Amino acid sequence: MIRIDGAPPCITDQEVMTACGNRAAGAFKTVEMQNCARFAAGIHPRAVDYLEQAPVLVIAVMAGGGRLNGGRANRDYAAHKFGPLCERGARLRDVMAAYGLPVPMRKIAARALSLDYEDALVGLARVAPSTLSQIIPASVARQRRWLSAYQEFRERLGKSCTDPNSEVTWAATQIAAHNASCEAAGDIADFVAMGDQRINGAWSWPRAQQAARDWHDRLSAGDAKRQFGVMAYQVVDLGSHPDHLVIDGLEFVALRTPSAIHAEGRYMRHCVSTYVGYVINGMSSIVSIQRDEQRIATLELRQGRIAQLKGRFNSLPAKQTLAAARQYVAAIKPARNPKASV
């Protein structure tokens, strides 16, 4: 049933191979992971048992050792490495150890996994098993969010940190504890990689977020002074432009300082912070549109007209938001004043 000559080992009985492949694939969510599971399960009849006990092995095997074990990334290599382990009935812990995986990683559910998370798994494999066992979230949804955010953290961190027991372990623990989002993880990674102070291992995630926000504020202050000759919190005179107006339940808040404009761009994840110069020179005014004190869109006005209206990540706003913005423009007078005042 098993081919054991020089060619890669595999199940030769097509019916058995199909049954093993389907059994392994059924646990995974994406077609990509299902196809990987089918290949890994087709190496040996015992393979599917290992894959069901530790779904993360599918990524390790398909990487051919890859970044998880420093080997070549191709299917022949994967089969030659995994096949003998299956053939001799190695213990699960020994199979996982062969791929550099600590035993607690068997707790990561199949439906939480994606090949996109390989770098996250590289980092997690270096976390102390006792720590890892305690931080892996229980639900599939939280595991997926955790892996995605941790992947974002490591990608944004790049090569600026090489100590697996410092920032990366801290991040894995804190992201899990606070169910942090990708964007929050990315912001913290930027701070770790480029900020003006180190992460304190005793910090909580909220404390690190505040430190990152403070750092961004210091950057915006320096940019405003260097580029435009004004302080970050210096108020720009927008003439008769109202500070705050409510239309159809939406709040329109005029942003009158470089710091406020930077904060809008940071939260909304778009490039409005680059428009500080236009506001200071009287060419534009920037308005934050909010619902229940939560930012939902950013409005740029030029000569009393809508120049841009963007949601988060430069998305298109809802029709209700656009209609309210048009009402807002009709309700105010154009405000153009090229001078900034304290």
Give the tens place of pLDDT for each residue, 273-307. Answer: 678 888 888 889 999 999 988 999 999 999 889 99
Q: Is residue 229 part of a domain?
A: yes
Q: How far is C-alpha 172 from the geometric centre of its chain's CA atoms?
A: 12
Q: Is residue 146 part of a domain?
A: no
Give pLDDT, residue 110.
96
> For residues 43 and 75, is the Cβ–Cβ distance under 8 A?
no
The residues near 160 (Cβ < 8 Å, ≥ 6 apart) are 192, 193, 194
Q: What percent of the chain has pLDDT over 90?
A: 49
The DSSP bridge pattern shows strands 285-291 and 250-255 to be antiparallel
Strand-pair partners of 326: none
Q: Is residue 70 part of a domain?
A: yes
Residue located via tokens 């049954």: 19
Q: Is residue 115 part of a domain?
A: no
Q: What percent of the chain has pLDDT over 70?
A: 84
Taking 80 as the threshold, does the pLDDT of residue 265 lie above it?
yes
Give pLDDT, residue 62.
79
- Domain hosting 249: range is 215-342
How is residue 21 written in tokens?
């492949």
> For residues 20 and 47, is the Cβ–Cβ distance under 8 A?
yes
Q: How far is CA 203 from CA 11, 130, 160, in A?
A: 51, 20, 20
Positive/negative CA dihedral, 245, 264, 271, 241: positive
Which of 112-116, 193-197, 266-270, 307-311 comes out lowest in average pLDDT?
193-197
Residue 89 CB-density burial (10 A; 0-12 exposed, 13-18 middle, 19+ buried): exposed
Q: Is residue 33 part of a domain?
A: yes
Taking 90 as the threshold, does the pLDDT of residue 111 lie above it?
yes
Higher local confidence (pLDDT), 130 or 282: 130
Higher local confidence (pLDDT), 281 or 71: 281
- Domain limit, last residue, from 101, 130, 161: 101
Q: How many domains does the chain have?
A: 2
pLDDT mean over 164-187:
85
Taking 60 as the threshold, does the pLDDT of residue 341 lie above it?
no
Q: Is residue 178 part of a domain?
A: no
Q: Residue 186 — pLDDT band, cuts 50, 70, 90?
A: confident
Cα-trace Rg, the chain? 27
Q: Is residue 154 part of a domain?
A: no
Taking 80 as the threshold, does the pLDDT of residue 99 lie above it?
yes
Residues in the chain: 342
> Taking the complete model, does pTM exceed 0.75, yes or no?
no
- Domain limit, last residue, from 69, 101, 133: 101
- Domain limit, last residue, from 76, 101, 126: 101
Give pLDDT, residue 224.
65
Q: How far is C-alpha 66 from the geometric centre of its chain's CA atoms?
A: 22
Q: Is residue 233 part of a domain?
A: yes
Q: Residue 133 — pLDDT band, cuts 50, 70, 90?
A: very high
Q: How far is CA 221 from CA 192, 210, 230, in A?
A: 19, 16, 9
List of E strands, the chain: 244-247, 250-255, 285-291, 294-302, 305-310
Give pLDDT, residue 50.
96
> For residues 64 and 81, is the Cβ–Cβ distance under 8 A?
yes
How is residue 133 written in tokens?
């066992």
Q: In what order do the strands lie in the sheet with 244-247?
A: 244-247, 250-255, 285-291, 294-302, 305-310
